[in-house]
Amino acid sequence: DPTPEEQAFQARIDAGEKIEPKEWMPEGYRKTLVRQIGQHAHSEIVGQLPEGNWITRAPTLERKAILLAKVQDEAGHGLYLYSAAETLGISRDEMFEQLHSGKAKYSSIFNYPTLTWADIGAIGWLVDGAAIMNQVPLQRTSYGPYARAMVRICKEESFHQRQGYHIMMKMARGTDAQREMAQDALNRFWFPSLMMFGPSDKDSVHSKQSMAWKIKINTNDELRQRFVNETVPQAEFLGLTVPDPDLAWNEEKGGYDFSEPDWDEFYEVLKGNGPCNRERLGARVTAWEDGAWFREGLTAYAEKAATRRAA
């Protein structure tokens, strides 16, 4: 049976109140937020790697500047979200240790390779498009610092999505080779983008409790359906084909019917066996180790400054 404190807490959630860091919260609520916000932050940081791979190879100076700005935005989103997670009592070093040891997850989508420039378009259009679907409702999540971080992040995501779609428009209307590259990128990123929303509701272990606590506002399947309904017309506008033979408009439900992603592939990627998992985690661990001297210098300087102030 819920304790009086848990009942009072749930009444606050049901009344749509925001929970702030210093206020009482059930340990499960705190742990769920540390897990989700931490993994969301990790996704932003690891998500810089696939796109970073093309900054030096962007086709024009303008595209290079746009991609550089987007990758820098993602770093900022990560730092924003790590700060939100720190309000729950976990340190940044602990979160990095969880990521580097494989204990903490990051979004499966970043374990796929970026083979051509069109992939950068598909990522902006589909991956940031899916992220927008997932993050807009999170602006109303019950935990104050997370909801406020989402407001700022969502503003920048629309630029991310728009620049990606613009790349796809350019290539879909370009030469045959460019159009084929755009179609190939859509073929490779379509189903992995659907997996970003998580397992189907029947297989989602956290959804029920996360919905009760308004940590999750919509279910995984609801957001996935919304993403498909909005994105298929965008693909048609590009003159590209969504790689799903079972995709069909269902007038009765007012949405598209579509094939389930390959959930075996999804769980393999989560286990670390995706195309780029080792490379992505390796890049993060190397960056962390290469930066050790700099962190030690900063800490030594801060300690010396503190001793001087104390003297």
Contacts with ligand 3HC by CB under 6 A lie at: 35-36, 39-40, 43-44, 47, 74, 77, 105, 107-108, 127-128, 131, 134, 195-199, 204-207, 210, 216, 220, 270
Rounded (5°) CA angle 145-150-156: 140
Q: How far is the CB of 100 from ligand 3HC (least distance, A)?
A: 16
Q: How far is the CB of 218 from ligand 3HC (least distance, A)?
A: 9
Q: How far is the CB of 237 from ligand 3HC (least distance, A)?
A: 22
Tracing tokens 């010396």 back to the chain, one arrives at 304
Q: How far is the CB of 301 from ligand 3HC (least distance, A)?
A: 33
Count CB atoms within 10 A of the CB of residue 222: 15
Of residues 103 and 308, the one with the C-beta less far from ligand 3HC: 103
Of residues 209 and 299, the one with the C-beta less far from ligand 3HC: 209
What letter represents residue 30's amino acid? R
Strand segments (E) across the chain: 248-250, 255-257
Q: How far is the CB of 303 from ligand 3HC (least distance, A)?
A: 35
Beta bridge partners of 255: 250
Tell me the C-alpha distance between 159 and 162, whole Å.
5
Of residues 48 and 116, the one with the C-beta less far from ligand 3HC: 48
Of residues 58 and 75, the one with the C-beta less far from ligand 3HC: 75
Of residues 77 and 284, the one with the C-beta less far from ligand 3HC: 77
Contacts of 192 by beta carbon, 8 Å cutoff, 6+ apart: 108, 109, 112, 261
Of residues 107 and 183, the one with the C-beta less far from ligand 3HC: 107
What letter represents residue 259's amino acid? S
Q: How far is the CB of 253 from ligand 3HC (least distance, A)?
A: 22
Q: How far is CA 134 from CA 82, 127, 281, in A?
A: 18, 11, 24
Backbone phi and psi for residue 278, each to the nearest 5 degrees, phi listed first: -65, -40
